[in-house]
Structure formats: C-alpha cells, structure tokens
Amino acid sequence: MSPFHTAFLLAAATLTVSAQEPAPQKLKPVLIKGSAIGGEITAVTPSLRLSGASLEALSVSTLGDVLADIPGVASSYFGPNSGRPVIRGLEGDRLKIAQNGTSSLDASSSSPDHAVSVDPLTIREMQVLRGPAALLYSSSILGGAVNVIDNRIPVERLPRAFTLFGRAGSADGLRSLSALAEGSAGDFAFHLDGFTKSTTDLSTPIGRIADTASDSQGAGFGVSRIGPSGYVGLSYSGLDSTYGVTEPGIEIGLRQRRWDLAGSVNSPAAALKSVSYKLGVSDYAHSEFDGGVAGSTFTNQGWDARVDFELTKIGALEGVVGVQSGRFDFAVTGDEAFLPNTRNANDAFFGSFVQPLSADTRLRYGFRVESAKVSAEAWTHEGLASNPSAASASFTPASLALAWVKDLNAQWSTTLSLTRTERAPNFQELFADGPHMGTDAYEVGDRTLGKEKGVGLELELAKTRGTISGSFSVYYNRFSSFISQQANGFGPNLTGVGGPNYSSGVDQLARYDFVSVPADFYGAEAKVNFQLQDGATTKCGLEFFGDSVRASNRDTSEALPRISPGRIGAALHGLQSGWSWRLDATYHLAQNHLATDETPTAGYTMVGASFGHDFQVAGAAARFTLRLTNLFDVEARNASSFIKDALPLPGRGVEAGLKLSF
Amino acid sequence: MAAALSIASQDRLCAWAAALGAATILVCVLGELAGPVRLPAEHDHDHGAGAPVQYFTPPAKPASPSPAIAEASPQVPTASPEVVAATAPLAVVPVTAMPALVPVTALRPVKSAAAPRAALSAPPSAERFVPDMPGDFPDPPYPRWARQQGVQGRLLVLVDVAASGAPSSVAVRESSGHPSLDQHAIDWLRQQWTWAPGAPRRFLVPLIFELQ
C-alpha cells in the first residue's frame, strides 16, 4: 500500500467517522463445515461419500462397478449391465440400496441378473453408511448400507446450471449423453435431467461376448418450494432399459416410473431441529424376452415412506429418530414363475445417536425395530415341490449397533464397533419354488425359515490428517443363522419350459434350497495414502490398498459361494499443470476357497490409468476425462459373479468423457 | 508386492496377515515421523477407508478476499451485481470505522477457495460460532450443491440490526467468489438470525464454508 493510499484511507476514515455512522462490530467467524468424505459429527454421517468429480471419474456401467474400487466392496457383475455392490461378502437383501433414503422398489435383490433401477448417470451423490448410521435405512447392516442421491427434488435454492456430459468407451462400445438443468425462480427451485446410453456387446480378452448389449433412457423432473422454514418438493422420473444377460437370445426389458414427494420443516418444535419426510411411489416391471417373445414378467408395485426427526441437542447428545413404512406387491408371470405373487409389508422404528463422552471419546449408537410381513397367494405350477396354498409369515427383527470412537490424538483415531443384526427372510427365501434362469437353478424356499441373525465386531484404526493418511480395519461377523442356498440334487422334470437352459436336452436343473446355516465372515481392509507433494496446483501421492474376506459355513467348514478373494493394489496419483492423473495396479488373488460345485478363479493383475483436465471453452467450464482400463488385456474372472465361468471382465478399453457446464 | 505374489500360492492367509500388518506398522511409524500435530482435534474420524483421492481443481473464480479487508481499509465491495441488488445499499457502509474493532487475524486471505487443506490455516478463532450476546444465531447449513461440487469459500457479511432485533439489511461485503454461496449465506442470516431488541446496531460477520 502506497503512502498516498494510506493517507487517503486515513482521510476517508476521518470523514466517515465524523458522519456519525454506527461502527460495525466484527463477530467471530462462523465456520460451516461440509464434508466431501466423512463429515461433520452427526448421527447420520455416512462413512463414505462420493460426489462431483470423484463420482464422475468412476465407471458408469453399473452401481456395483461404481463402488468396486473401494476396499471391502466387490460387484456382483452379471454382465456389463447388471451389478450390485457386495460389501464384505454380503449382498442382495443383506445390503440395502436406498434411493434418496427410500427403497428403490425394483427387483434387483431377487436375482443377480436384474439391474438396480438407478442408472449411475443420474446419481449425484453416493453414500456408504456403516454402523449406527446405517440403521436409518436397514436392519441388516453388517456390510453397511448404500444410499444414492439423484438431487431430483431440490432441497435448497439452486444456482442456475446447465450441464452436458458425453462419454464414449471402447470395451463396451459405450455411447452416453446426459443433460442436467437446474435453477431457481423466487421461492421455487427446479431440476431436470435426462440421459441416453447404449452399449454394444462386451469386448473381452476371449472375444466379444454375445448378448451383452444394452440401451437405456431415463429422465427426471423435480420442483420444490423453498421457504425460510423448510421445503417441499415433488419429482417424477422414469427409466427404460433393455439389456442382454449373456444368455443367447434373452433380453431384459425394464421399465420404472416413480413419483417422489419430500419435504422438511426446520425447528417445528423446541425439541426438534428438523422434521423431514419422504414418500416414493413406484411402478416397476421387467420382462425377459426370449427371441422377442416375453417369457417372464416381474412386476413390483409399491410405496415406501419415511419421517426423520432430528432432535435438538440434549446436552451433548445428538440424534435422529424416525419411522419408515413400505408396501410392495411382487409378481412373476410366465415361464420363470418361480415365485407366487406376494404382498410385502414392512414398518420400522429407528434411531441413531452420537454422545460425546469426553473431549476425545464419543459413543455412537443406534437401533432399528421392524415389523415385516410377507403374504403369498395360493399358486401352483408343474413340478411344484412345496405347499401351494396361500400363506403368510411375520417377523419382528431388531437390530442394535454401538460404536466407541476415541481420538488418540489430532490425527489418529480408533473405532470399536459391536453390531447385532436381525433380518426378516424375504419373499423369495420363503416362497420360491421353480426354475430361475438368472441363477440357472431350481430354487426352493422354506416358509418355516426364521430370522437371519448375526453379530459383528470391528476394530478400525484411522489416520485422517497429515501427509500420511489411511485406515485399517479388521472385522468378524458371526451369523447364528444365515440364509444360504444349498445344493440339493435336481429339481423336478419340467416340460414346455422352452428356455435356453432347457433346450440342450437338460430338463432338470440343479436344485438349490434356501436353508439357514451358521456362518462366519471375517476379513480386513487397509488403505494408506502418502501425499508426496501437496501444493496448491501441484500434487502427487502414492496409495496402497487391500482387502480380504473369508466366509464359511460353521457347521461344515465349507466356504460360502461367490466370495471375492483378497486383493492388493497400489496407485500413483497427482495434479500437474491443470491435469489430474492416476495410475493404478491391483493384484486380485486366486479364489480357491469354494462352495460345492463352484469353480475356482485364477489370480490376475489389473492395470489402469485415468486423466482429468479442467478448462474453459467458449465461456463454458469443461472437464475432460480419460480412463484406460485393463491395459494389459488380461483375462480375469470375478469370483463374486454368478456367471464368472461364462463371462470374463472387460478387456482393454479406453473411455473418454467431456462435461460442459454453462 | 512381489513378495506377496510369490507367497500367494502357498499360504495366502499368512501373506495377507503379514501384508496388512506391515501396512499398519508402516502407517504408524510414518505417521509418527510425519511430524507434530497440526490441527485442533475438531474433526470427525468416523469415515472409513475408501474414497478415491480426488483433487478439486480451483473454481473459475477463486475466492480471494483481499487482505485489505482484514486490515480494515476501504474496499469497493466485490459482491456480484446479483447479490448487491438483492441486499441493502452498500454506499452508506462506513467501512473505515473498522480498525479498532477488527483483529488483523480475524479473516485471513484464502489461498485457494478449493484447497482441501484450507482447514490447516484456519485461525484458532474459527471455532463453532457462539456469540456472547443474546439472540438466536443458528449456523447456516452447507448447501448440498456446494458440497457435491466441491465449492468452498469465505465471505464477509454486513448486517444492520433494527431496534426490534431483526436484521434490517444484510449485505455481502466480501464475496466468496460464488454468488450462489453468498446468496445462501445472506438469505440465511436475514431469515434465521435475530438479536435482542435494543438500539440499532451493525455487525460484520465472517463466514467460512469449508470442506474437509
């Protein structure tokens, strides 16, 4: 500051003071902490959160693939179009996938070939919740819970935004374009999104795999009224998708339409910080076409609603309590009618709390009590192995979680968690009886099944700050009763089924019964990042990660099926001259701990690279991404996939994306 | 890793235990070597392993409040026209009365609005806002869009408080560089903050939106 300038300021100061204006008093800064990962210490904080550029840098093929690089997570990989995350060996109904907090109301938990009805292109944020916070969404939380957020109902006034995002890939012939428009007018905020995506048959090191192409379109519109005391909003969305599932001539056509209502009221009463409510109403159907003729049709019509009460701090205690209620009718018609029509009802009461015990210790705890009822209609078909009469089953699962968190110092912390979960058997585990093409099995349920029960113990050591950060955790999950599918000879002779599995003269399918067995899951996960360079515009880091899980039937010591073998990997990442880059190599071990009739998978190393660059073009902010996958074109089998023998992982591929924000 | 590969065929479990154990020891040892504790223990540890490292590149308009503000010199307000239009007239604001009241350390310039480690330079005073005066001053929420897009920033807001205790005007004095974030903050202060009734007063409120 020049002397002249200073003199001018002093003069100005004198003048203004003489104008007798009151002097502003400066307050202490208000610090508002958000979190891209982790978060402010609340009862609902997810353990992992992906959004923005972190999410865009990942695969868009299936929900399972999006999370598959995280230690402890695998994908169920049923071809390039269908895959759910598998966390710590737990999948299906054991791993809840919520959509904006409510159920996705699709058919994905009933069979691995049924896609999750959320396309990764519409996801704006993905949360993985563990421990007490996961009880907000599910009572089966030994693997955690996943919540995907699509922003379709705005919760606040939104800055005007228009985004176009195009991607193209070589391994799966990906062509996708998605568009997003958001903005506010007065008290109203709106959101509009749409995408179209197509893929060709998947290219693998053993050649192109027929019947894996896909074609999907989806759109959503939402509008909210936002006021000083909260918001209320409505959205409508739709998804249409057709995709192959590697079986010759078989194609799945999926259609979902969904209404959502959501709102929140701030401080409605002294004891409440906020009350938020959500309702989702969905109409889902998918048909399995055999040579263009609809063979089987699965429908799921239902709703799911929840109300969350965020409590005002009681002393240092913070918490959320809530209720969730859902109903859905699930029906299957056609060749693959391996289930009777069912009506499913679920009501839950839950709470999750954080209680600081001292300056460096806090206790997180939560509970969830559910009332679940499955009612099946009377039915019959050729070869039915079980009782065809109408029946219903009711359960009251109760789950508890406790986590003791201690900060060892400003950088290190440790968490000891104890979890007890109970899960009501689902309609399939209770009432299935028929040929199921997705699993190539004759599945038989057991209507006398009791609740699935398990307890889990986990110890985590984490270093969240500093040049070196990372975490290490070991866990042991012990199920006194785990609902598993066990081989039991062959199903009945069937005629006229006509599906591809029967055409080769096989008219008997292997029979699998749902039975309750005692099971053990144990494993470890580790990740460490060395930030070698951490400037404002130049960064470089080295990361190591690994995970391992072992699952077995405690009675027979036999391994449970489709468990990922361990893996260990390293990645070098950095930011230089406006380019972010990442090179990684992951060695997946062979899986030789197998269930009966399961085939082993060999070990393999996957090497990949990705690049990102932000720049300006014609007044728009642009982001270019490039991903190179499976650089050495290795033939790899995913041990957690049902169809690992038929379908290897994708071969060498390049995927480029360009995102323009106006 | 080469060692792990060769052992793998013999006893993978042992190899795993050893590898993970070694990694942990490495983290511990290097963690201790990494140097002294740099931060107050005000953060959350409850997130697990896994989020891929992602660098937030600086936004198009990085927030860089001028040091001059902290030194309490007159400054043409940098709020965007949109924000200015929505708030009180700034012309009458006597910025020059600040020297006696504003500690130089109160608002440091932000090197980069999107630097994830901005927390490291946060002054000790940047703790949870607990004003020592009667009134109701709830913290604004972190906007979801800003969190998802990695938007951070600091801003300085001038609030005129009427005799009733309600804000009569709320204006951005120093923009965060993101008009929408500024708007979010002033809307919140105008709607949610109330003081005890008394003589008309004015306050400068620094707000720091920071991602961890």
Q: Which of residues 614-643 of A touch B (CB under 8 A)?
A: 614, 616, 621
CA–CA–CA angle A353, A355, A358 (5° rounding): 165
| pLDDT tens per residue, range A169-185 | 999 999 999 999 999 99
Q: Do the chains contact at B53 and A573, CB–CB below 8 Å?
A: yes
Is residue B7, in this structure, part of any structural domain at all?
A: yes
| Residue ranges covered by each domain of chain A | 48-661
Query: B21 pLDDT band (50/70/90 cuts)?
Result: low
- Mark whether B74 and B124 lie in a shared domain: yes
- Mark whether B122 and B167 lie in a shared domain: yes
Q: pLDDT: is A209 or B108 the higher one?
A: A209
**Chain A residues in contact with B187 (beta carbon < 8 A):** 157
Question: Is-contact A468 A530, C-beta < 8 A?
Answer: yes
Is residue B39, in this structure, part of any structural domain at all?
A: no
Domain covering A48-661, topology: Maltoporin; Chain A (2.40.170)
Distance from CA of B196 to the nearest CA of A (A): 15
Out of A21, A462, A536, whose CB is closest to B97?
A21
Distance from CA of B178 to the nearest CA of A (A): 9
- Mark whether B6 and B107 lie in a shared domain: no
Query: B17 pLDDT band (50/70/90 cuts)?
Result: low
Residue B38 forms beta bridges with which residues? none
Distance from CA of B38 to the nearest CA of A (A): 8
**Owning domain of residue B23:** 2-33
| pLDDT tens per residue, range B130-149 | 567 788 888 888 898 898 88
- pLDDT for A55: 79
- Mark whether B73 and B152 lie in a shared domain: yes
Question: What b/e readout covers A92-129, taking b as 16+ CB neighbours within 10 angstroms?
Answer: bbbbbbbbbbbbbbbbbbbbbbbbbbbbbbbbbbbbbb
In chain B, what is the straight-line distance between the N-terminal and C-terminal CA atoms, in Å? 32
- pLDDT for A43: 62
Would you list the DSSP string of B108-164? PPPS-TT-GGGGGG--TT-SS---SSSEE-PPPPPPHHHHHHT--EEEEEEEEE-TT
Q: Domain containing B104 — which CATH number?
A: 3.30.2420.10
Distance from CA of A231 to the nearest CA of B (A): 13
Out of B45, B53, B73, whose CB is closest to A543?
B53
Among residues of chain B, what percentage have pLDDT more than 90? 18
- pLDDT for A498: 45
**Chain B residues in contact with A617 (beta carbon < 8 A):** none
**Chain A residues in contact with B73 (beta carbon < 8 A):** 1, 9
Is residue B134, in this structure, part of any structural domain at all?
A: no
Which residue, chain included where needed, has tokens 């957690």? A640
- Mark whether B187 and B117 lie in a shared domain: yes
Residue A203: phi and psi, rounded to 5, are: -90, 125
Please tell me the distance from the alpha carbon of residue A294 to that of residue A315, in angstroms, as a whole number: 60
| pLDDT tens per residue, range B69-82 | 333 333 333 434 44
Q: Touching check for B67 and chain A: CB below 8 Å?
A: no
Q: Do the chains contact at B100 and A23, CB–CB below 8 Å?
A: yes
- Mark whether B104 and B189 lie in a shared domain: yes
Question: Is-contact A239 A117, C-beta < 8 A?
Answer: yes
Chain A residue whose CA is closest to B210: A33
Q: Which of residues 97-156 of B touch A (CB under 8 A)?
A: 97-103, 106-107, 111-112, 115-117, 122-123, 125-131, 137, 139-150, 152, 154
Question: Is-contact A463 B27, C-beta < 8 A?
Answer: yes
Helix (H) or strand (E) holding A108: none
Q: Do the chains contact at B212 and A38, CB–CB below 8 Å?
A: yes
Q: Touching check for A124 and chain B: CB below 8 Å?
A: yes
Total number of domains constituting chain B: 2
- pLDDT for A180: 93
**To the nearest 10°, the Cα dihedral for A56, A59, A60, A63?**
-110
The interface predicted TM-score of the complex, written ipTM, equals 0.78
What separation in angstroms does the CA of A337 have from each of A1, A39, A375, A436, A643? 81, 45, 17, 8, 21
Distance from CA of A473 to the nearest CA of B (A): 9
- Mark whether B112 and B189 lie in a shared domain: yes
- Mark whether B154 and B86 lie in a shared domain: yes
Sign for the CA dihedral angle at A282, A216, A70, B153 comes to: negative
Distance from CA of B46 to the nearest CA of A (A): 6
- pLDDT for A69: 86
- Mark whether B28 and B71 lie in a shared domain: no
| pLDDT tens per residue, range A213-265 | 999 999 999 999 998 889 999 999 999 999 988 888 888 899 999 999 999 99
- Mark whether B116 and B22 lie in a shared domain: no
Q: Do the chains contact at A35 and B128, CB–CB below 8 Å?
A: no
Q: Which of residues 68-97 of B touch A (CB under 8 A)?
A: 68, 73-74, 92-97
Q: Touching check for A546 and chain B: CB below 8 Å?
A: yes
Q: Touching check for A463 and chain B: CB below 8 Å?
A: yes
- pLDDT for A322: 95
* Mean pLDDT, residues B199-203 taken together: 89
- Mark whether B151 and B195 lie in a shared domain: yes
User: Averaged in consecutive runs of 10 residues, what is the pLDDT profile of chain A (662 residues)?
Assistant: 47 44 76 56 69 76 84 87 90 90 85 80 87 93 92 91 93 93 93 94 91 92 92 95 85 92 91 93 91 84 95 88 95 83 96 91 94 92 79 96 91 93 94 82 91 96 88 96 88 59 56 93 94 88 94 93 92 91 94 89 94 90 92 93 89 93 89
Is residue B146, in this structure, part of any structural domain at all?
A: yes
- Mark whether B199 and B112 lie in a shared domain: yes
Distance from CA of A371 to the nearest CA of B (A): 30
Please tell me the distance from the alpha carbon of residue B86 to that of residue A186, in angstroms, as a whole number: 12
Is residue B183, in this structure, part of any structural domain at all?
A: yes
Is residue B99, in this structure, part of any structural domain at all?
A: yes
